Amino acid sequence: GENVEQHPSTLSVQEGDSAVIKCTYSDSASNYFPWYKQELGKGPQLIIDIRSNVGEKKDQRIAVTLNKTAKHFSLHITETQPEDSAVYFCAATDTGFQKLVFGTGTRLLVSP
């Protein structure tokens, strides 16, 4: 089945800096890669996703890139703000079992 690794586990940046979170996956047939943001006491919220036929996708300050050959994808947050502080999870499809497999999470802390 699919295995997703996520790095780093924690990331501290200053407000205004960029943040990058990286994930690798094992199932070469995976075709959907969402990113979720989870704030304290809340459920995960989908912030951006990318499909395997696209190399990059942007939405204002966030972007996701996908390298199918290397089987890795990354979340990029520019001009970080304190409200970006949260835990971020990447995920990938397990095509055999038709479910999402989550990475282990990255705790992002943006200091003012």
Partner 1 sequence: DTEVTQTPKHLVMGMTNKKSLKCEQHMGHRAMYWYKQKAKKPPELMFVYSYEKLSINESVPSRFSPECPNSSLLNLHLHALQPEDSALYLCASSQDRVNGYTFGSGTRLTVV
- Residue 105 is a binding residue for partner 1 (CB under 8 A): yes
**Toward partner 1, which CB reaches closer, 78 or 109?**
109
Nearer to partner 1, 59 or 79 (CB): 59
Q: Restricting to residues 43-102, which ones interact with partner 1 according to CB under 8 A?
A: 43-46, 49, 89, 93, 97-100, 102
Count of CB atoms situated within 10 Å of the CB of 104 = 12
- Binding residues (CB under 8 A) for partner 1: these are 32, 34, 36, 41-46, 49, 89, 93, 97-100, 102-105
